[in-house]
Amino acid sequence: MKLIISNSPHLRSTINTSWVMRQVIFALLPAVIASVILFKYRAIFLILNCVLTAVATESIILRIRKRPSAIKDFSAALTGLLLALILPPSTAWYAASLGSIFAILVGKQIFGGLGSNIFNPALIARAFLAAAYPKMLTTFIKPYSLDAVTAATPLALRKFSAHLSSSPTIDLFWGNTAGSLGETSAICLIVGGVYLLARKIADWRIPLSLLCATLIISSIFYFANHSNGSFLFHLFSGGLLLGAFFMATDPVTTPMTKKGRYVFGVGCAILIMITRYFSGLPEGVMYAILFMNAATPLINRLTRPRRFGE
Amino acid sequence: MIKIEEHKQPQVGLATEGFLNPKKLYLPLSQHTGRPSLPCVNIADIVEEADLLAKEDGFISARLHSPKRGKILNITEGCHPSLKRAKCIILECQAQEKEYSYRKNVESLDKEELREIIKNSGIVGLGGAAFPTHVKLNPPKKINTLIINGCECEPYLACDYRLMIENLREIFKGIEIICKIIEPDEVIFALEDNKTEVVKKLNLLISTKRVNLPKTKSAILKTAYPQGAEKQLIYSVTRRKVPSGRLPFDVGCLVCNVATAFAVYEAVYLNKPLIERLVSFAGDAIATPKNIRVKIGTTLKELFDAGYLKFKHEPRKIICGGPMMGVALDGLDYPILKGTGGFLFLSKNLDIAEEDPCIKCARCVDSCPMNLLPLELARRIKKEEFAALDDFSIADCIECGCCNYVCPAKIPLVHYIKVGKKYTSRKD
């Protein structure tokens, strides 16, 4: 009789890191399918490019660092997929590859690999590409157009042409607008996001507080001046839903305390709306989440839960 | 708190069997919280069932009685589930059964006399911690609320459940005695909502007022782990929080396990010391799970040798206690102690997996019933930063295992925290 001696507990839940990552990828599938319908082969190429480059980079770096291969945890594939979904569909292949390498190398492995990074790797890579290829990263194309007819995003139209009527809410809802690859179809992101929250893969506190704060802020501004855009306009356009459900819920770079998660969500919403209303940029989801990523250690410290009985 | 698979079938439906004629008993002198008992018998002495074997040593300690008539073979080191090795009295038993007669003058006993009977019967808390009951029943403050703990939140275990099904009347007789001693304003019988059959019986018993108690009610709590942990239970039932490092009486509460109440009944009404208890045997490695009433000191080996338990598969892990807080054993030579509620025999390895990096998902934080940050504790312990651990209230950890259970990275958080506790200054 060979018996194993180990400390309690002797039971474990069946979930593991790989399962969590695969579930997030699964929840992104509606948005992936929408992107393929809207942007055809460009979507397929961009997603394959980013995912494969990210996975290849991860395995090479882990080999150099003499660490066990961690491809099976699917975290690199998820980073690549998320990056693809936040890039313009017309992004050049070399820029997308470079972004994926940057996401894994600088965004993740330099900090010590999975779990140690401060910033969301996909977002930091997009910020890098926005600086390296400013023109390419602000040029969007019309959906369903094979010959790359450029078009402005709804948020850019609002900001630079005071144009709201050109993008009716129903188009924003289904995704028939110009924008980053995976951000245009609100319904697909909501379906995936609700799945994540219902299966308790992501905590609901960040998305809920982010969306509620957006509702309050945008409603106030809408009543002050209708050209600011309604709540539904702000909710369905740009990267708000993708950010709220899939970027602001990245466990590694967001607060570990329950109170901190509310702070994080509200902070993101305030920064997003400030950027959309007052800055020179039409959209602010990326910088808002990156900024809140940087504030996460501080939020964690300030929102330490009181131990039971205090 | 967390939801957890219960694994209580088929144990909850199995009527209690008895195994009351062991050949040899191993009785450790340390079966309770506090100083080990002091033997008051010698090698080769012949003792009767219920005779005193060892006296208490100091204020927080308990007595030990002979579970059978027999001969003292030795007083030496033996196996102990949690201490590994400890001094114990080895008794060779004779197959003779003692009759216990009903005590007639229970009504006329005052509280000092009752407390003395409980002390003389060697009763300790049977929920696991094994704190001497006569000390607990002498609180320095007024107790408003007596909470009877019938939660049994550990998966697999069903001994408290069976006791409540089969001996609820006797449990209430024990509660009456406890009420007479501590004079609480109210009695709350706490159960989890998975124990529907007990809930029915309990409500019937309370509503027909066949019990002679102060204001009594039942509290049906949602099934969660660790609902039965003392501080969590007090909070769930009364919304009072026991502060860090303090005891239940600080908030006017006293928690008593159902099996302890039953032991009080046996001591007072039958003059029978704590020499037997109900134990669940479960897990997929044994042919049929069982709930067996056994003599304290019976070894697992003897239960297998006598054919009461049989292996169906080769066990990979034998656990004394529940799967969440129990101790893994290295063989069958271990005896059943006063505080032992069950043994598990598992053929599959359910807990060992390679440790992945922490992704800070904070499932451990969300699950911690003491509101600690297990991931922060583990990170510091791995880096040997022991000085910071007190800031993170490591001493408040009750080692319930919730964090460890939910962790997707399979980090053995409880193991790290146990290591960390050894290096911190404050111990309580």
Residue type, A238: G
pLDDT of residue B411: 94
Burial class for B71, CB neighbours closer than 10 Å (0-12, 13-18, 19+): middle
Contact at CB, A305 and B365, closer than 8 angstroms: yes
H or E stretch at A140? strand A140-141
A45 phi, psi to nearest 5 deg: -65, -45
| Mean of pLDDT values over A117-122 | 96
For the cut 60, the answer to whether the pLDDT of residue B204 exceeds it is yes
Domain edges within chain B: 106-270, 363-422
Contact A10 B243 (CB under 8 A): no
**Is the pLDDT reported for residue B426 higher than 60?**
no
pLDDT of amino acid B35:
94
Give the minimum alpha-carbon distance from A274 to chain B in angstroms, rounded to a whole number.
29
Q: Is B373's CB within 8 Å of A304's CB?
A: yes
Rounded to 10°, the helix A93-105/A121-132 angle is: 130
Domain positions in chain A are 18-132, 152-301
Are A308 and B246 in contact (CB < 8 Å)? no
pLDDT in tens, B323-333: 999 999 999 99
pLDDT higher for A171 or A100?
A100
CB A7 within 8 A of CB B351: no
> Mean pLDDT in chain B?
92
Per-residue pLDDT averaged across B170-189, rounded?
94
- Can you read off the two tokens belonging to residue B170? 């006797």
Among chain A residues, the shortest Cα distance to B240 is held by A309
Mean pLDDT over A104-130 rounds to 95
Q: Which fold has domain B106-270?
A: Rossmann fold (3.40.50)
Average pLDDT on B308-321 reads: 94
Query: Which positions in chain A touch B373 (Cβ < 8 Å)?
Result: 256-257, 304-305
The mean pLDDT value for B245-258 works out to 94
- Residue B377: predicted pLDDT: 95
**Is there a contact between B352 and B411 (Cβ–Cβ < 8 Å)?**
no
In tens, the pLDDT along A19-47 reads 999 999 999 999 999 999 999 899 999 99
Whether omega before B10 lies within 30 degrees of 0, making that bond cis, reads yes
pLDDT beyond 90 at A176: no
Indicate the residue of B350, B372, B396 with minimum beta-carbon distance to A11: B350
Looking at the complex, does the CB of residue A67 fall below 8 Å from at least one CB of chain B?
no
For tokens 């088929």, name the residue.
B10
Give the gap in angstroms from C-alpha A103 to the nearest C-alpha of chain B: 17
B371:A256 CB<8 A: no
- Rounded to whole angstroms, how far apart are CA atoms B303 and B322? 19
pLDDT band at A104 (very low <50, low <70, confident <90, very high): very high
Quote the pLDDT of residue A164: 63
Q: To the nearest whole percent, how much of chain B has pLDDT over 70?
A: 98
Provide the shortest C-alpha distance from residue B242 to chain A (in Å). Answer: 5
pLDDT at residue number A157: 82
Contacts of B383 (CB under 8 A, 6+ apart): none
**What does the pLDDT read at residue A201?**
93
Cross-chain Cβ contact B408/A20 below 8 Å: yes
**What is the C-alpha R_g of chain A?**
20
Question: Do the Cβ atoms of A8 and B329 come within 8 Å?
Answer: no
* pLDDT tens-digit readout, B273-294: 999 999 999 999 999 999 999 9
Dump pLDDT digits (tens) for A226-242.
888 889 999 998 899 99
Question: Quick check: B428 pLDDT over 60?
Answer: no
The CB-side HSE value for A218 (13 A sphere, CA atoms) comes to 23
The string of pLDDT tens digits covering residues A60-102 is: 999 999 988 878 889 999 999 999 999 999 999 999 999 999 9
**Best of A11, A118, A196, A200 to mutate (most B CBs within 10 Å, chain B):** A11
- Going by C-alpha positions, the residue among B66, B14, B6 that lies closest to residue B287 is B14
The mean-pLDDT minimum among B142-156, B192-206, B349-363 falls in: B349-363
| Interatomic CA distance for residues B416 and B379, integer angstroms | 9
* Rounded distance between C-alpha atoms, residue B396 and residue B244, angstroms: 7
Q: What pLDDT sits at residue A260?
A: 96
Return the residue in B3, B334, B351 with the most chain A beta carbons within 10 A, the one to mutate for interface testing: B351
Partners of B357 on chain A (C-beta within 8 Å) are 113-116
Contact B4 A12 (CB under 8 A): no
Residue A160 buriedness (CB in 10 A; 0-12 / 13-18 / 19+): exposed
- Cβ separation of B330 and A203 shorter than 8 Å? no
CB atoms within 10 A of CB A196: 21
| Confidence tier at A158 by pLDDT (50, 70, 90) | confident
